[in-house]
Amino acid sequence: MKCAILAGGLGKRLRPLTSTLPKPLLSIAGKPILVRQFEWFRNYGIKDFVSCVGYLKEKIVNYVGDGKKFNVNVSYSFEEEPLGTGGALKNAEKLLKNESHFFVLNGDVITNLNPLKLADELKGEIVGVIAIVPLTSPYGIVDIESSSMVKGFREKPVLGEYWINAGIYCLKSGVFDYLPVKGELETTAFPRLAEEGKLKAVKYDGVFWRSIDTHKDVDEVEKALRNRA
C-alpha cells in the first residue's frame, strides 16, 4: 500500500523559515517533518510513498532522493504551479490509480495515531475515511460558577465535543473521479462524498497529533516531543 504526502505548500505563515526551505523539511526537535512521517508510517509496515511536491521541490528531491537512506521507497509527482490539496492528489493519479486504496497525508502533520484503522473502515460503498481528533482550544479557559465567581483556570483544554480533520486519509482509487484539477480536497471532493454517503471518519482520542502551521506551533511541538522522549 502507498501513502501520498501532500508536500507542495508555500508555508507562508512560517516565513522566513520557509523562504528557502519547504515546510516538510523543517527540523522539529532535531528531525525534519518529512522524515518523522516516513518513520511513523514505516512502523506500520508502509514503506512506499508518493511525494507531491511543488514549492522548492528540488530541495525535497535532493534531500530525500529515492528514500533508500530512510529505508523507504519514494517517487514524485511534480506540480509547476500551486494546485491545492485536491489538485495535487489528482496530479499524482498516474502513480496511485492502480492501488485499490492508499493513504494521503498532509505534509505538516506530526502524530503517532494508527493509520491502519482508517483502512479497516474502507468497506462497501465508502470511498474515503478521514482521521479526526478532538479540538484543543487555542486559549486558556476560565471556569466560573453560576454566581460568576471564578472556580479555576484550564490551559488550552481539549474540547471533546468537537472534532477536527487530522489531515490523514485512506482513499479508494475511485476518489479520482471526485478530485478537481485545481482546488482543495477538503472543499471539493470531501463535501461531495459526504453528500453521497461515501465518506466516513475515525475518531482518535488520546493520541499525539499536531500540525505545523505557525512559528508558535514549531516551539510548542518541539517542547512536546522533547518531553515525550
Instruction: Provide the residue type at 126 as one letter.
Output: I
The single residue of 31, 69, 97, 156 carrying the catalytic annotation is 156
- Model confidence at 186, pLDDT cuts 50, 70, 90, reads very high
Q: pTM for the full model?
A: 0.90
Question: Which residue is associated with the grid cell 471556569?
Answer: 143
Give the span between the Cα atoms of 203 and 218, in whole angstroms: 25
Residue-wise pLDDT for 109-124, tens only, equals 999 999 999 999 999 9
Give the span between the Cα atoms of 110 and 168, in whole angstroms: 10
What domains are defined for the chain?
2-228 (3.90.550.10)
Q: Any catalytic annotation for residue 156?
A: yes
Give the span between the Cα atoms of 189 and 199, in whole angstroms: 10
Q: What is the mean pLDDT of the chain?
A: 93
Count of beta carbons in the 10 Å neighbourhood of residue 6 = 27
Question: Which residue is associated with the grid cell 504526502?
Answer: 5
Identify the CA nearest to 24 among candidates 41, 11, 15: 11
